[in-house]
Amino acid sequence: MGEAISKSGIPRQELFLTTKVWISNAGEEKAAQSIDESLRKLNTDYIDLLLIHQPFGDYYGTYRAMEKAYKAGKVRAIGVSNFYDARFVDLAENMEVKPAVVQLETHVFSQQLKMRELMKEYGTRLMAWSPLARGMNNLFGNETLQGIAACHGKDIAQICLKFLTDEGIIVIPQSTKPERIRSNFALDDFELTDDEREAIRRLDTGHPLAADFNDPVMAKYLLEYDRQS
């Protein structure tokens, strides 16, 4: 990525770089080293957004290292990924720099209403990973979404992304196809009606679908959150 940035000719200020501190680098000392290594590999003086990947290990120490990097100008914003209510609040209440972002699996089937309400107090924004649910739960065959898409002459992905961005959610759809990337940006030439938004809200199942349940620790954490919700 660092090499691609250097070769692109695009001014650094026109790019937004996000990276994460992984569990293997948890703790203040290892996280500080990881941040410097990311800066070196990305061939940049600063990272726009730095996240903790998961709420395991010494994530307090990790966050302290991130706060120091933020104050030193190495990082423009810091946040967390896969932190649900109790662990998010615990961290936000006990750290000087509040998380700018919480990155969670968020899509029409998992709209994160509880977390969105919780974040407001801290000025934290929700960033959606898997905003198209990886196509799970028959997303692209859903009759409600098909009907709304047909009314607007759009595809289902555009309807889903439009709904999420209208809700104030940051979306990061993933594609390697230029035509899909262009399509995912083409959201400004139509508006969803109140009835359409309400119909989409009714698709919410209240729990994640695409999270990695092959990770036993993460699976236990998500299942416990699901029982409490």
Q: What is the mean pLDDT of each run of 10 residues along the chain (229 residues)?
A: 92 95 96 97 96 94 98 98 93 96 96 95 96 94 98 97 98 91 94 98 90 56 54
CATH numbers and ranges of domains, the chain: 2-228 (3.20.20.100)
CA dihedral 149, 154, 157, 160 (to 10 degrees): -50
pLDDT given for residue 207 in this prediction = 86
pLDDT given for residue 80 in this prediction = 98
pLDDT given for residue 69 in this prediction = 98
Separation of first and last alpha carbons in the chain:
39
**80, 88 Cβ separation under 8 angstroms:** yes
pLDDT given for residue 174 in this prediction = 87
pTM (2 d.p.): 0.88
